[in-house]
Amino acid sequence: MACKIETLKDNNRMSTQELLQTINEKIQEGVTEFEIEACGQHDIGGSSWSKDGKPLTFYIKNPGQRVGAMGTDAATIVVEGSAPADIGWLNAGAKIIVKGDGGDTAAHCAAGGKIYVGGRVGTRSGALMKHDPKFEPPEFWVLKNTGSFSFEFMGGGIAVICGYDCENLESVLGNRSCVGMVGGTVYVRGKVEGLAKCVEQKKLDKFDKDFLKSGMSEFLDSIGKPELADELLDFSSWTKIIPLPKEQKEKKITVKEFKEQEWFKDGLFGDLVEDNGEVFELAQTGEARLRKPVWDKDLCVGCNLCLNNCPQNAISETIKLYSCDGSMCIGCGICAAVCPRKAWKMS
């Protein structure tokens, strides 16, 4: 029999810490199934585990961030409705089912298990997914679409974006998807725009179709949409996205090439300021100095601190008259800093 936990009683909300402690105490007592009426508490389900390895099942309503985070392969987590950011963050094996929409960064850093979302997910979802070859790859299934910057820096795993009811979208992956992707596969149904240059979009082969056929029924049954199978298994609208082979990736250009080929004509402020293109050193002498020292005869007491401390030996003295050689001075201001009478000022 499931253990029911209500986190809001008489307008008093149980804290995340109290909820997680209560769950762990019940697990120690032998409870393996939970029904949790949450109120935005974080980290529910994923980090809980049983010492004897018994499977744990969580049915959750109204969770907060990171539901199922760091989940193990002994956990099954079902969210009735939607969930906010970080669903399945760092998932290491749990099966996580969200029957509504997911927030930003769903499946972020996932390394194992399965994450099923019966709606949409937000920006940066699937980012940094990875795969240790000793284990099964993580799977991330989404019924509708993702936000922008999805699957950036993806290193492994499998994502399936079904694009259901997304015909009016310009891209079911948002904009700038798969930036920095170096591994894994993203299966997508529908229009895709704004992909990064480091990936390629290809037609499905037999292996891809067999994978989608074998996994689609479990996904749709889990989110309560088995009637969509025939529509989603029409492969005419499906493609896959994989990283480009190293030899096909765009070669990085030098800073000089970037300035000549990509940078704004006449510079960022070219429409406001004329620039002759001359490049100055970090510590510059002559007319390019940012500041120049000016000596005031009336304030000088002849202590020679400026003369003795100038790192460029740019200051000279002739019959108690001090001057600065502009061809040697870098405008560092040390002369002004050491002068006790402020006879040197930087202008």
The residue ranges of every structural domain in the chain are 3-248, 281-346
| d(C-alpha 101, C-alpha 67), whole Å | 13
What tens digit of pLDDT does each residue of 87-142 get? Answer: 999 999 999 999 999 999 999 999 999 999 999 999 999 999 999 999 999 999 99
If you write DSSP's letter for every residue of 146-173 in order, what string do you get? --TTTTTT-EEEEEEE--TT-TT-S-TT
CB under 8 Å, gap of 24 or more: what pairs does 133-137 form?
A: 135/93, 135/111, 136/112, 137/112, 137/184
Q: Could you tell me the pLDDT band of residue 44, with boundaries at 50, 70 and 90?
A: very high
**Assigned token pair, 315:** 């200051």
CA 256 → CA 44, 155, 276, 278, 279, distances in Å? 51, 31, 16, 14, 12
Pick the CATH number of 3-248 from 2.160.20.60, 3.40.50.2000, 3.50.50.60, 3.40.190.10: 2.160.20.60
What letter does residue 269 receive in the DSSP assignment?
A: T
Q: Are strands 293-295 and 238-243 parallel, antiparallel or unpaired?
A: unpaired
Give residues with Cβ within 8 angstroms of 138, minimum separation 6: 91, 107, 110, 111, 112, 113, 114, 115, 129, 130, 131, 156, 157, 158
Give the mean model confidence (pLDDT) for residues 293-312: 93
If you write DSSP's letter for every residue of 96-138 in order, what string do you get? EEESS-B-TTTTTT--EEEEEESS---TTTTTT----TTSPPP
H helix or E strand, kind and range, residue 221: helix 206-223
- pTM across the whole model: 0.75
Q: In 3-state terms, what secondary structure has residue 301?
A: coil
What tens digit of pLDDT does each residue of 229-278 get? Answer: 999 999 999 999 999 998 888 788 898 888 888 887 777 777 787 777 77
**Assigned token pair, 320:** 């108690």
Three-state SS letters, 16-32: HHHHHHHHHHHHHCCCC
Backbone angles phi, psi at 108, to 5 degrees: -60, 125
* Averaged pLDDT score across all residues of the chain: 94
As a whole-number percent, the residues of the chain with pLDDT over 70 amount to 100
Whether the Cβ atoms of residue 44 and residue 58 lie closer than 8 Å to each other? yes
Is the predicted pLDDT of residue 286 greater than 90, yes or no? Answer: no
Give residues with Cβ within 8 angstroms of 255, minimum separation 6: none
pLDDT of residue 33: 96
Pick the CATH number of 281-346 from 3.30.70.20, 3.40.30.10, 1.10.10.10, 3.40.50.970: 3.30.70.20
